[in-house]
Amino acid sequence: MFKDGRWIGPILDQHMHLDRNNRYLEAVNEFVIAGGTAINLVHKPNFSKLPVSLSEYRSVYEETLEMAREVRDKFEISVSVILGPHPVAWENQIHTLGLEESTSLHIQAVKLALEYISLGDAVCLGEVGRPHYPVDEKTWAASNELLLEIMRLANEAKTSVQLHVEDNGEKTYSDLAKICDESGLPRHFAIRHYAPADITQEFTHGLSATVSVGKGSISKIVECIGKSNSFWGMETDYLDDPRRPGAVLGPKTIPKRTHQLSKELIDNGYSEAEVSEILTNIHFTWPNEIYS
């Protein structure tokens, strides 16, 4: 889908948060004007007021679903919702509720998200995972047990998970692949969010990846693309948080990087038809297989 040498097909941001109290629709508008056509709206936890009961989880999930409806009404883009309790919320609540209570609440919140997914209101469980910062041994062991249980539940529900995890390169992937296999969840249904640009098979172990496409990521993707054999895509992890403007990428990033990828592939000798196939895969065909 090229017109005068420019990609005019689908452009999906696979991991974006929005916040009614921050830039919200203005941020979506920026994405749309830049050429974006679809977003995965990922539930954003409010760390200063975390839910302490299942009914509170229900109301914060409803808020995310409501934003998705509003964005669909206002813009001609497709919005898919990713719902789940954040692993950092679980870790934080160990200090307030205790390990047992925090874990039980977390599992209940996972099951609730799976209900919304079975109703078709959401397409994927996430972000779930484990703390991305060092924790004591007991907490680390508990977080791995919890993740195994979450993956089992996702597998029973035949849904994928978007994973928020530490960044320890290939080791993180090989760890996750083990947990995945033990749970029965197909590896391509485990999607590493905020993933590095290395999309080669040796690195990802067959897990799916949504690459955080910061500076330099596109040349790395181009270098790896021939050695990739699993699903990958692009994300900003836009936080819609004025206090952390530089923490993640802005709403225009995915359209911008898509055009950059297209240009670099063409410069490397790919034909428009080949580039078209790649861009259709990452922004449309593969997402349809892993989010439903």
**In the complex, which residues of this chain contact Zn ion (CB under 5 A)?**
237
Q: How far is CA 97 from CA 46, 90, 105, 138, in A?
A: 17, 10, 10, 16
Q: How far is CA 227 from CA 24, 138, 157, 182, in A?
A: 38, 38, 31, 26
Residue corresponding to tokens 């490397």: 268
Smallest distance, Å, CB 164 to Zn ion?
6
Query: Between 132 and 259, whose beta carbon lies closer to Zn ion?
Result: 132
DSSP assignment string, 170-222? HHHHHHHHHHHHHHT--GGGEEEEEE-S---HHHHTT-EEEEE--TTHHHHHH
What does the alpha-carbon distance between residue 225 and residue 265 come to, in Å, rounded to a whole number?
10
Smallest distance, Å, CB 116 to Zn ion?
18
Q: Which residue from 226, 177, 235 is spatially nearest to 206, judged by alpha carbons?
A: 177
Query: Between 237 and 240, whose beta carbon lies closer to Zn ion?
Result: 237
Smallest distance, Å, CB 273 to Zn ion?
34
Smallest distance, Å, CB 238 to Zn ion?
9
Query: Between 38 and 279, whose beta carbon lies closer to Zn ion?
Result: 38
Smallest distance, Å, CB 2 to Zn ion?
32
Q: For residues 278 and 265, is the Cβ–Cβ distance under 8 A?
A: yes
Query: Between 234 and 275, whose beta carbon lies closer to Zn ion?
Result: 234
Residue corresponding to tokens 């993956």: 151
Residue nearest to Zn ion (CB): 237
Query: Between 91 and 237, whose beta carbon lies closer to Zn ion?
Result: 237
